[in-house]
Amino acid sequence: MKSDFSPTAIETKWQQKWDEAGVYKVDLKKAKDPYYAMAMFPYPSGDKLHVGHWYNFAPADSYARYQKMLGKDVFESMGFDAFGLPAENYAIKTGVHPNQSIKENVQTMIKQLKRMGCMYDWDKMVNTSTPEYYQWTQWLFLQMYSKGLAYKKKANVNWCPKDQTVLANEQVKEGLCERCGTTVIQKPLEQWFWKITDYAQRLLDGLKDLDWPEKTKIMQRNWIGRSEGVNFTCKIKDLGIEFEVYDSIPQTHKAQTFAVIAPDHPMVKDLVKGTEHEKEVLAFAVKIAKKKAAGKFDIDTDMEGIFTGRFVEDPFGMGDLPIWVASFVVTDYGTGIVLCSAHDERDFAFAKKYDLPLRPVLLPSDPDQAELVKKGEVFYRQPDGIMQLPAAFKGMTWAEAREPIIDYIEKTGLGYRAVHYRLRDWLVSRQRYWGAPIPIVYDPEGNPHPIPEEHLPWLLPTDVEFKPTGESPLTQSKEFIERTEKIFGKGWRPEFDTMDTFVCSSFYYLRYLMAENTPKKSQKPKTKSQQLVDPVLEKKWMPVDIYIGGPEHATMHLIYARFVMMALHDAGIVSRDEPFKRLVHQGFITNKGAKMSKSKGNVVSPDPLVELHGADVFRMFLMFMGPFTDGGDWSDTGIKGVDRFVQRVWKLITERVKEEVNDEQLKPALHATIKRVTDSINRLQFNTAISALMEFLNTAEKKEMISGTTARTFVLLLTPLAPHLSEELWEKLGSQGFVVEQSWPSYDESLLVASTLTIAVQINGKLRGTIDVPADATDADIITQAKEQENVKKYLEGAIIKKEIYVKGKLVSLVV
């Protein structure tokens, strides 16, 4: 049965056969043992599919195939995150409408994805830029609005001057636009927000039960930034204005010596109104605000302040505290006003700069060192002769003192325990064209009203230019305004902003479960069966069993999706809080150390290599590069090794299999291989799975002929990794059915125990020889034998053995 191996022909053949037989179609309703395998859906950019996509999707598919062979009803989803800036920027450059370019890119990418031979059930594909999809994005907005979770407010927001749109906090990385790298500035604008802060504690608590990478959980925890401390109510002297302050280091209680307020705090004006300080202070506030707006504020060089002339009225019986406006204080954390002490780096530096008094609470007592000794030992002292706290606190360490002091503060009634979070509300509106229109209209008085559901999808108008002007492009659409007036009345205006694309991707895992039922364009989603998600399917399939994607989404998509799922749960739409039970991040593929991107022109296309070697070889090569979660720098050296492996497998199975030949001696190796491959795939370490198969091949090739059983088992092990090749070999072996529908082989434990053991012999921790002993030899026998080993003997001559250690089945260690 000798024949040549031609990957492309084989791969095309089996993709067709699978397709015809519908082996990857899943009946979501009938599935008995659902397994929802999902990779983060791609953005259909002009780059097409690059090696990074393959690196993500191919192993994800191999793992899903393994689950299928374990007997699960696997649903592997695929779709497109099609709204967003790149298509719009492309349109600005070329004049091609995003609708057009996205359609083309999606078509190309589907073709490329199909070439990979993954188990995607294409009937359930989603594309977020289609009205069928974005009506649900809009519906979600209305849900949020009706639950009071969507609101509009004027605030300083992150503005990208290049993309001419606002950005969510999560989209600003190191002060730069996450998309284009431009310095982000602050701009006061009226924007739509979603109240993710209401869910801060739940988002934090939920993490502990998730099977997610620890580092991702840590990133989310830091992002949420829960801080515990004490709130105090204070008064401005002579003005009687009451305000709250938050203090997260209660150890400094009664040791505060001044107060600082944020330059853009609304109370600043009231403090200085009509005083000699007014002009100067307000000018200072404006100066700092400008610096911050330009994104140029740097705490190290720009630590500045100015005295307001006002005091906090003796908050703790230790005297009045002067209030300064200080550049480093932020308005929107805590209450924007802070009581300062010696034991904070910034407060300390500020006090030194403006010669403000300090009252340290830690030994040593030198106020010049106060901040530096925070890690120092003993807490509590009375440098100015005033007893600050009860004597019970004396001698406590900084850490020990914390809780008792909070208790003490509460008991004295001066303040109360409080929790603050760093998490801010999610800014969801964007001044761009290519997104889902926000389903809100304004009456002639300018009051917002939700668009009734029957008008969904609230279509994105097409009579729009894309030039970013800083104003929403939708304002140019005559049709959009006419449509609004026609439905709602004269003088009514639509909301011109669109939604952040992260809204689209915050619930797509639910839409996959419904995509088959999506009405045609002509239909409107009004009937009962047309809902965001069928509760029965949701209950059955959610949460997603394994979600695979890049770590760059740790504080964006992955936190938004959790928030939206929780909000939907509270609204009774879904049955649980968390969308992704298990999360895995694939590693990042770089090119000469740099991130692949079109602008750098270093994107590597997989197509030529796939053409040359076939999809199986290419995907195995990517898996063989190293651990899936590590990624690495791109290089195609080494693909040859996998190619050779495939050629040799082909040769062995097509030329050297004889059904009834006796190859009993191969059995232990075969079963060891089953175990190794199984364990490796379980841990998503495809590299070691492949090397185990290579090792077995090396062993098997030494035999003249191998049996049908051995060959079939080997092909089964290869199936998740190289599905097309395996299918062809399965057929050549005369086996029934699709190999991709066979069960995963199991191994016989008893065959894994070797009949002879090789024991290492060490003297003083150095390897001096090995001995072969029967598996049933006694410990004493083995030690005796070890001492008689030739090389060992040499070292034992004239030496006294002080200690003998035998590690079962592994080694003998002698100490002389």
Partner RNA sequence: GCCGAAGUGGCGGAAUUGGUAGACGCGCACGACUCAAAAUCGUGUACCGCAAGGUGUGAGGGUUCGAUUCCCUCCUUCGGCACCA
- 570 vs 695, which CB is nearer to RNA? 695
- In DSSP notation, 548-578 reads EE-GGGTTTHHHHHHHHHHHHHHTTSSS-S-
Q: Is 750 exposed, middle or buried (0-12, 13-18, 19+ CB in 10 A)?
A: exposed
- 474 vs 617, which CB is nearer to RNA? 617
Element at 227 (helix H, strand E): strand 227-235
- 203 vs 262, which CB is nearer to RNA? 262
Q: How far apart are CA 189 and CA 165, in angstroms?
A: 11
- Which residue is listed with tokens 């059915």? 737
Three-state DSSP class for 315? coil
Q: How far apart are CA 359 and CA 255, in angstroms?
A: 5
Sheet with 185-194, edge to edge strand ranges: 165-167, 150-160, 185-194, 426-427
Q: How far apart are CA 590 and CA 724, in angstroms?
A: 28
**Smallest gap, in angstroms, from Cβ of residue 621 to RNA?**
9
Rounded to 5 degrees, φ, ψ at 96 are -80, 130
**Smallest gap, in angstroms, from Cβ of residue 810 to RNA?**
3
**Smallest gap, in angstroms, from Cβ of residue 289 to RNA?**
11
- 107 vs 647, which CB is nearer to RNA? 647
**Smallest gap, in angstroms, from Cβ of residue 798 to RNA?**
16
**Smallest gap, in angstroms, from Cβ of residue 764 to RNA?**
5
CA atoms within 13 A on the CB side of 368: 0
11 close to 615: Cβ distance less than 8 angstroms: yes
- 356 vs 568, which CB is nearer to RNA? 356
Sign of CA dihedral 737, 739, 741, 747: positive
**Smallest gap, in angstroms, from Cβ of residue 684 to RNA?**
11
Q: How far apart are CA 708 and CA 510, in angstroms?
A: 44
- 467 vs 644, which CB is nearer to RNA? 644
- 691 vs 709, which CB is nearer to RNA? 691
- 173 vs 569, which CB is nearer to RNA? 173
Q: How far apart are CA 472 and CA 474, in angstroms?
A: 5
- 143 vs 813, which CB is nearer to RNA? 813
- In DSSP notation, 327-391 reads TT--TTSTTSEEEE-TTSHHHHHHHHHHT------BSS--GGGGGGGTTSSBB---TTS---S-G
- 508 vs 645, which CB is nearer to RNA? 645
- 327 vs 518, which CB is nearer to RNA? 327
**Smallest gap, in angstroms, from Cβ of residue 38 to RNA?**
22
103-108 contacts, C-beta under 8 A, 24 or more apart:
105/44, 105/45, 105/46, 105/48, 106/44, 106/80, 106/82, 108/48
- 463 vs 611, which CB is nearer to RNA? 611
Three-state DSSP class for 683? coil
Q: What is the 3-state secondary structure (H, E, C) of 369-381?
A: HHHHHCCCCEECC
Q: How far apart are CA 626 and CA 606, in angstroms?
A: 18
**Smallest gap, in angstroms, from Cβ of residue 194 to RNA?**
19
**Smallest gap, in angstroms, from Cβ of residue 484 to RNA?**
37
**Smallest gap, in angstroms, from Cβ of residue 635 to RNA?**
7
Tokens of 600: 């750098």
Instruction: Tell me the residue ranges of DSSP E strands in 114-208.
Output: 126-127, 150-160, 165-167, 172-173, 176-177, 185-194
Q: How far apart are CA 251 and CA 389, in angstroms?
A: 10
